[in-house]
Structure 1
């Protein structure tokens, strides 16, 4: 192929009339994602009592969900209705950058959440002196900028490769799949990609697990009342972490480690789990487990519901 022109999404071929059902499902899912996450963001932004580190990090997850899905859903929906499923080379690299920076930002935010809970449980009297809004802002900035720089370098290395094929067996642009289409030496891209994977996913995940193990040890040595309160604040974060980690591990396994013989539709579902489920699950988990967020969300959606809920309580 002529180098650096376009890529072709092969999985959109021969969908027939099912593409309209998939478009409807995708459109509904995207609307739900946007509505839920925007309501979470507004609830935390508008309620001054929620301007605390834990809630700010929850809003960061929602902002990241809106950011990441914006790179996938609009493009996917247009491809479902289009007769030509091509994407320009530059647009494909941008989509790679946004989707994978979304992934790195998610792990970074979950790592900061684990650190926040660890400090709150291990040093409750000093918590507000350690986790200040200024410190949190700096940590968020550092842990979001570093992946962006790393992934920017990945994009530059990929852009320098000569492409010998333009067929992508994905429903979105994937940097590793693009590198595999190169007919030049891609060792630098592969080594750098492994470095990015370790620094933006593996290390944060290890630090997260370390924090929760330390929390578990502290809880086992504490009173039942303290343990119950600690578990109540940590379980929602652990549910989010497990769901996202399973999605990422599935995607990495299918892409880099093994080539499993499975139906195409099942492979697509596994590869999209990290892009579709967390943006829906996150706001639902936090709305159900944090009363302050839930009440503010209800006020935004329908003010009269708050009175009804309060009366029932």
Structure 2
């Protein structure tokens, strides 16, 4: 463990050569982070304050927005500090903490989106048993495990990386992820391959489940005009959210595994930031505009403020 204890800091090379644009990047990044907080917090507060929105779909949506704030909190504050600094380093503990937050947030996204797909499947395909299936006790358990399982799986993955002997401290990205930390290990280990492999397979199973549920949803909704209307109103936003989350994460993973060295640093940084920028911003906007109840509550609140 001597090699591990010798490394106390990691260097992040993602911002190298971008000193001339730091001021502009800082302003744009701060603006994006403020927008993410505004749109997500608006949805969270509206759902919590309005008792008529204390239904499974809105509870899951509230947790999706909370997870958006949780995941981005693991990146933006540190990134903003790095933009204003001439040295881009992160402590040993801070690097593992950042990796844990980003990975667990991505896992929680898939868990919550799978719950939302299950909720819509039961509501539309099995409406007679909806209230007996989606009880308050079950919803609490679903939400609890949607957070616990990603935390537990990523904790195991982080531990296997943490106990590895590292022979380097250079991370070619703007933030820490377990895969890149693991690449610094002096030797390969079975656990280092098995646990991440299991995690990827586990969450790929979530995607398959959502696709399966939507096949049934589409078949069911095609039979009636009311079903098609319900699908467009409540299922379409969820489907868009799933495509956005899967697309941005898959793009980042494929680039990290098979990325080209010929790309400019700016393009690499944008691809690294995609899943921390697009889903946390787009998801609450989609639901805020598309779900009638939430849109009406926000509009009534704004009208009260304008006329007061």
Structure-2-length-normalised TM-score = 0.94
Describe how 1:177-196 pairs up with structure 2 within 5 A.
Answer: 177-196=180-199
What's the counterpart of residue 303 of structure 1?
304
1:202 equivalent among 201, 204, 225 = 204
Match of 2:219 among 212, 217, 220: 217
Instruction: Report the secondary structure of 1:181's partner residue.
Output: coil
1:310 is aligned to none
Who is 2:111 aligned against? 108
**Is 1:39–1:300's contact at 8 Å kept on the other side of the alignment?**
no
Alignment gaps of 5+ in structure 2: none
Contact 1:166 1:181 in 2 (8 A): yes
Q: Does 1:259 align with 2:259?
A: yes
Does 2:32 align with 1:24? no
Aligned length: 304
Q: How is 1:99-248 mapped onto 2 (pairs within 5 angstroms)?
A: 99-199=102-202, 201-220=203-222, 222-248=223-249
Distance, in Å, in 2 between the alignment partners of 1:266 and 1:55 is: 36
Whole-angstrom distance in 1 between the partners of 2:300 and 2:94: 39
Cα distance change on mapping 1:302 and 1:7 into 2, 3 Å: farther
Partner Cα separation in structure 1 for residue 234 and residue 19 of structure 2? 47
Deviation at 1:301, TM superposition (A): 5.0
Residue aligned with 2:11, SS: strand
Task: Classify 1:278/1:290 alpha carbon distance in 2 versus 1 (closer, same or farther; 3 Å).
Answer: same
Distance in 2 (CA, whole Å) between partners of 1:124 and 1:99 is: 36
CA distance in 1, matches of 2:69, 2:39: 10
8 Å contact kept, 2:104–2:150: yes
Q: 8 Å contact 1:3–1:162 — kept in the other structure?
A: no
1:44 and 2:47 aligned: yes
Task: Report how far residue 291 of structure 1 moved.
Answer: 2.1
Maintained 8 Å contact 1:179/1:186: no
**RMSD, matched Cα:** 1.7
CA contact (8 A) 2:71 2:276 kept: yes
Alignment correspondent of 2:278: 277
Residues 181-190 or 238-247, more deviating? 181-190
With 210-219 and 223-232 compared, the bigger mean Cα shift is at 223-232
| Worse overlay, 143-152 or 222-231 | 222-231
- Is 150-159 or 259-268 further displaced after alignment? 259-268
Task: Give the Cα–Cα distance (whole angstroms) in 1 for the partners of residues 227 and 170 of structure 2.
Answer: 56
Q: CA deviation at 1:12?
A: 1.7
Q: Scaled by the length of structure 1, what TM-score is found?
A: 0.92
| Cα shift at 1:6 | 0.8
Q: Which residue of 2 aligns with 1:94?
A: 97
What is the deviation of 1:161? 1.3
Q: Structure 1 residue 204: deviation in Å?
A: 0.6
Unaligned runs of 5+ in 1: 308-313
1:94 Cα deviation (Å)?
0.5
Match of 1:118, SS state, is helix
Please state whether the residue corresponding to 1:125 is helix, strand or coil.
Answer: helix
Distance 1:20 1:13 in 2: 14
Assess, with a 3 A threshold, how the Cα gap between structure 1 residues 300 and 183 changes in structure 2: closer, same or farther. Answer: farther
What do the CA deviations read for 1:85-113 (whole angstroms, capped 9, x no partner)?
Answer: 11011110000000110000000000000
